[in-house]
Structure 1
Amino acid sequence: MRLPPIAPSDITAEQRGLFEAMTAGVAAKYSSFITTREDGALLGPWNAWLHDPVLGQAFWGATQAMTKERRIPDPARQIAILAVGAHFGAAYEIYAHGAVAIGKHGMSEARIATLAAGERPVDLDADEAAAFDVTRALLRGGPLPDPLYGLAVERFGQPGANELIYLVGHYCFVSMTLNGFAITVPGSPA
């Protein structure tokens, strides 16, 4: 980990508002994986954003908007997020969203392992399959092929197709944050 977690007692005045917002938001949303150190320091991408509170506030705002405006079913969202994390080898992302997918949606460990390996699980429903296929096409680069764009609109409506595209881009950014700062899974060797 290249940026050390910041203990609550070491938070600066400039970081205080962002720290409080992220701590409350993360605690309200995630209970199935470790998001803080024992002393309350944030882990994951939130710690990195806290080190640069001006940009971190913008990144947190985008994250909050992506969380608030859910137009596609959450299992399909988790499939897309895990496919992005696998593409970039972002360990914390796979750890965190794997825990969400298992805990909140009852996805099997085998399905998470398949996604983490960058493969398409055979048991995806139609929404999950569309999310996976669109995500993988976007990750290959270039324009999203018309048939896949049409599938996203058909499955999720135009607002949902928009959300899926934004979601993939957002989690590419989160993966870059995690990988750039070498953010590992809690308890794993640095």
Structure 2
Amino acid sequence: MRLGKLLPEQLDAEQRAVYDAIAGGPRASGSAFRLVDADGGLEGPFNAMLLQPGLGGALQELGSAVRYRTAMTTRAREIAILTVARVWGSDFERYAHEAVAAVAGFRASELRALRTGDGVAFPDPADRLILDLSTALAERGDLTDDEFDAAREALGMPVLFELTTLIGYYSTLALQLRVFRVEAPASLDSGASATEDFS
């Protein structure tokens, strides 16, 4: 790791406000993965958000909106997030969101497929569309006219906006996780089945 954990006793008032919003906000209610380590430090991308609380606070608020205040289903959202994790090779995003997906009812075969981008495990047209759109957005950063038309017809423009925002947000986190060399914890505190090695 290139950034040590910023512990609660080290934080100024602005940093503490961001810390509290993450550790005590909607993410903390029944989180499928650990947000805070045994020493009180924030896990994953959240620790770095404390470096610049004005920007970090806005970023965590965007993440909260993406996770909890959109029309996307949990299933669609987790397919999209795990696609970003695959494209970026983000171990932490995969660790965290395989746990969320497992709690949401994803099968082990689906989680394996999301690690490789294999659409065969997703015969439902709605799932397949989200997977295909997310792959295009994460890999190419764009949609063809045909992909855009299919998205507009099936999802509607508001949800398409949500999807592009989600892909951008989790790509930003994947970049930060990579630059600061943040690894996934060795295991999930929740004991969710997502800890299984699907490879």
Give the TM-score taking structure 2 as reference length. Answer: 0.86
Structure 1 unmatched runs, 5+:
none
| Conservation of the 8 A alpha-carbon contact between 2:80 and 2:130 | yes
Residues 93-115 of structure 1, C-alpha deviation per residue, up to 9 Å, x if partnerless?
00101100011x21112221221
Report whether the alignment pairs 1:110 with 2:109.
yes
**Residue 80 of structure 1 aligns with which residue?**
80
- Any residues of structure 2 matched to 1:88-99 within 5 Å, and which? 88-99=88-99
Moved more, 135-144 or 70-79: 135-144
- What amino acid maps onto 2:75 in structure 1? P
Query: What amino acid sits opposite 1:3 in the alignment?
Result: L
The answer as to 2:143 corresponding to 1:144 is yes
* Shift >6 Å, 4+ stretches: none
What root-mean-square deviation, in Å, do the aligned CA atoms of Structure 1 and Structure 2 show?
1.7
Contact conserved, 1:33 with 1:99, CA < 8 A, in 2? yes
Partners of 2:113 and 2:121 within 8 A in 1: no
How many residues get paired? Answer: 186
CA distance in 2, matches of 1:46, 1:154: 36
Equivalences for residues 55-74 of structure 1 within 5 A: 55-74=55-74
Find the counterpart in structure 2 of residue 160 from structure 1.
159
TM-superposition CA deviations, 1:139-165 (whole Å, max 9, x none) = 232531122112222222211111111
Separation in 2, partners of 1:177, 1:121: 31
SS at match of 1:59: helix
Measured at CA, do residues 32 and 141 of structure 1 come closer, stay the same or move farther in structure 2, by a change above 3 Å?
same
Query: Contact conserved, 1:120 with 1:132, CA < 8 A, in 2?
Result: yes
CA distance, structure 2, for counterparts of residue 2 and residue 120 of structure 1: 36
What residue is the counterpart of 1:171 in the other structure?
170
After superposition, the Cα gap between the structure-2 partners of 1:142 and 1:172, relative to the gap in structure 1 and judged at 3 Å, is closer
Judging changes above 3 Å, is the alpha-carbon distance between structure 1 residues 144 and 123 closer, same or farther for their aligned structure 2 residues?
closer
**1:34 is matched with which residue?**
34
C-alpha distance 80-121 of structure 1, shift in aligned 2 (>3 A): farther
Q: What is the DSSP-based 3-state SS (H/G/I as helix, E as strand, rest coil) of the residue aligned with 1:77? A: helix
Structure 1 residues 140 and 32, CA, compared in 2 at 3 Å: closer, same or farther?
A: closer
More helix by share: 1
Could you tell me how far apart the structure 2 residues matched to 1:121 and 1:40 are?
41
SS at the partner of 1:44? coil
8 Å CA contact 1:71–1:156 kept in 2: the answer is no
Change (3 A) 1:116 1:74: same
Unaligned runs of 5+ in 2: 188-199
How far, CA to CA, are the matches of 1:88 and 1:158 in structure 2? Answer: 26
Q: Could you tell me which residue of structure 2 aligns to residue 52 of structure 1? A: 52
